[in-house]
Amino acid sequence: MTHQITLIGHTDQELKNLLRTKDDLISEPKSISFIPHMSHTSPLKSMRDFDILVLTLPFDSRYQGMPIKLLEYLSSGRIVIVAESEYIREIFNDGFYPYFYKQGNIMSLYSSIDAAIKDINLENHIISGVEFASKFTWESRTKSVLDTAHI
Condensed to tens digits (0 to 9), the pLDDT of residues 68-123 reads 888 888 999 999 999 898 888 888 877 789 999 998 888 888 899 999 999 999 99
The rounded distance, in Å, linking the Cα atoms of 36 and 58 is: 17
**pLDDT single digits (tens) 10-61:** 677 767 776 766 666 555 555 777 776 666 555 566 777 788 888 887 666 6
Backbone dihedral angles phi then psi of residue 45, each to the nearest 5 degrees: -70, -40
CB 51 within 8 A of CB 23: no
- pLDDT at position 88 is 84
The CATH fold assigned to 38-149 is: Rossmann fold (3.40.50)
pTM of the model as a whole: 0.74
Contacts of 119-125 with CB under 8 Å at 24 or more apart are 122/79, 125/99
